[in-house]
Amino acid sequence: MISITMKRLCTLGAALFVCACFGSCGGGSGGAGAGAPAGATVQAWVTTADQSRLLARDTDQSFGSAALAASNIDVDAAVRYQSMVGFGAAITDSAAWVLQNDMNSAQRSALLAELFGASPGIGLSFTRLSIGASDFSLSQYTLDDVPAGQSDFALANFSIDPMRANVLPVLKSARLLNPQLQVMATPWSAPAWMKSNASLVKSANPSVAGTLLPGAYSAFAHYLVKFADAMQAEGVPLYALTPQNEPNYEPADYPGMLLGPAARVTLIGQHLAPLLAQRASPVKLLDWDHNWDDPTGALAGLNDALAQPAIAGVAWHCYAGDVGAQTTVHNAYPAKESYLTECSGGAWAPVWADNLLWDVQHLVIGATRGWAKGVLLWNLALDENAGPHTGGCGNCRGVVTVNSVTGAVTRNVEYYALAHASRFVRPGAQRIDSSTGVNGLESVAFRNADDGSLVLIVANGAGQARNFSVRQSAQSFSYSLPAGAVATFVWTPSA
């Protein structure tokens, strides 16, 4: 795990560029948009750095014609950007184990309803699965393991049985609570018999890299598609698929695989894309699934004439680099989608207040202003020992922590950072225009498609409380946000 570097957000693309790319802009400047919300009631929800208020309902505000504060955030609902899939976290093997084995039925049902259910639940609507084991599994395995020295190019031994005890029950329960829950999936490694080092982990011989054998490209593509088909048969269709987790990194103590740009281009363009095109149920193919620090890696597939048409978008991780990389790639290929697919908190960042601000500034605000349609944190749940896990990160933090003895739940800072968006921004919402970087106030805004309500999320990165106004059309309301605090505002403008 690479420590997260706290960097300021990059300036994002101009609205005129968006209009040219998507044809979805309207209105003018200075807070124009849907009808003036004179007198409209604004719900306010706040989390403070000292934890005295945790996603707490504050006094309602009202739009009026009072003078603007020195710091003002304009919201323009007529300027619209990407539609949202949602916010969530990965149902890893470990997360599912904790939920299924460390909680009784009543505890588990209550927590899943809180995580995936509608208000007062926080409405998580996006999740990620590993295809085979990750570091957050109880053992190292794939879905087609055979004895050493053997192979299975016909995939006769392929099975998703390792998911049946824990992952599938949790996933199906979550989808019952939120039928809009979208699922993406990622392999950490191909089966060992498909690899150059015949191992799921890095070889002890540094000269032997673990990558896909030239003769195994077709088999691996069929392996991934068989997984999509098996999930479809379970009533859990995949929304998206990536061909490899963190393809530039080969771990020594948990499954992983190097899959450089040329290998990914070959796998996607010549093998995986044709198979996916034959399926009746579409699955989005996302490339990269690695850090912000290497946009050239993310561009490799998009720059290839054969692979590019099959790639729906780019998946990003947060552990190195700056969120501005998302906009760099978007500007090069504005028709391609963007997703933040992994970011974990952990003991390396112990200060609750710092984590709240960083998570909201970079993941909720920065990633979505950087065109992300979905934002995923890493483990949905872990126990008090940051596990169970096999290798890899020994001090990661789940969105929630479940006590392995009592089943008691601790809601971690990541829970509140996610909830400030997921509870209010529903699937299908569009990001809309809002000013940001105003005297330390950063923001992002959305318009829910189902009822036209608007959601504004504001983080106060200044070292002191900020009094500010929010303006839509000619009307505004005022609010005072403590230093380091986060607020979500919700209102319905007039027609």
Kindly write down the DSSP assignment for every residue of 421-445, as one continuous string: HHTTS-TT-EEEEE---BTTEEEEE
Spatial distance between the Cα atoms of 474 and 30, rounded to a whole number of angstroms: 9
Q: Specify which residues 481 forms β-bridges with.
A: 466
Helix, strand, or coil here: 413? helix
Residue-level pLDDT at 467: 97
Q: How many helices (DSSP H) and strands (DSSP E) are in the chain?
A: 12, 23
CATH number of the 85-427 domain: 3.20.20.80
Residue-level pLDDT at 24: 41
Q: What's the residue count for the chain?
A: 495
Point out the catalytic residue in the list 246, 250, 337, 414: 246
Q: Name, in order, each residue with C-beta under 8 angstroms of 253's C-beta and a sequence gap of 6 or more.
A: 135, 201, 390, 391, 392
Domain 15-82+431-491 and domain 85-427 have a common topology: no
Look-up of token digits 């349609």: 373
Per-residue pLDDT of the chain (495 residues), as tens digits, is 433 333 323 333 333 333 333 334 433 334 444 555 778 999 999 999 999 999 999 999 999 998 899 999 999 999 999 999 999 999 999 999 999 999 999 999 999 999 999 989 999 999 999 999 999 999 999 999 999 999 999 999 999 999 999 999 999 999 999 999 999 999 999 999 999 999 999 998 877 889 999 999 999 999 999 999 999 999 999 999 999 999 999 999 999 999 999 999 999 999 999 999 999 999 999 999 999 999 999 999 999 999 999 999 999 999 999 999 999 999 999 999 999 999 999 999 999 999 999 999 999 999 999 999 999 999 999 999 999 999 999 999 999 999 999 999 999 999 999 999 999 999 999 999 999 999 999 999 999 999 999 999 999 999 999 999 999 999 999 999 999 999 999 999 976
pLDDT tens column, 325-334: 999 999 999 9
CA distances from 154 to 15, 216, 220, 223, 452 (A): 51, 11, 11, 10, 51
Residue-level pLDDT at 45: 98
Point out the catalytic residue in the list 114, 250, 337, 342: 342
The predicted model scores a pTM of 0.93
Spatial distance between the Cα atoms of 387 and 383, rounded to a whole number of angstroms: 5
Q: Catalytic site residue 342? A: yes
pLDDT tens column, 318-359: 999 999 999 999 999 999 999 999 999 999 999 999 999 999
Residue-level pLDDT at 35: 56
Spatial distance between the Cα atoms of 442 and 462, rounded to a whole number of angstroms: 10
Structure tokens at 343: 């970011």
Look-up of token digits 């008691």: 408
Residue-level pLDDT at 207: 78
Half-sphere exposure of 282 (CA within 13 A, CB side): 6
Question: Nearest Cα to 205, choosing from 196, 215, 193?
Answer: 196
- Inter-residue contact 432 to 446 (CB < 8 Å): yes
Q: Which residues of 250-282 are buried (b: 16+ CB within 10 A; e: fewer)?
A: bbeebbbbbbebebbbbbbbebbbeebeeeeee
Residue-level pLDDT at 29: 34
Residue-level pLDDT at 205: 84
Domain borders along the chain are: 15-82+431-491, 85-427
- Inter-residue contact 412 to 392 (CB < 8 Å): no
Residue-level pLDDT at 34: 54
Residue-level pLDDT at 38: 74
Give the H or E element holding residue 22.
Answer: helix 15-22
Phi, psi of 191 (to 5 degrees): -55, 150
CB-based burial label for 292 (10 Å; 0-12, 13-18, 19+): buried
Q: Catalytic site residue 246? A: yes
CATH number of the 15-82+431-491 domain: 2.60.40.1180
> Is cis: bond before 388, omega within 30 of 0?
yes
Pairing of strands 41-47, 61-62: antiparallel
- Inter-residue contact 471 to 21 (CB < 8 Å): no
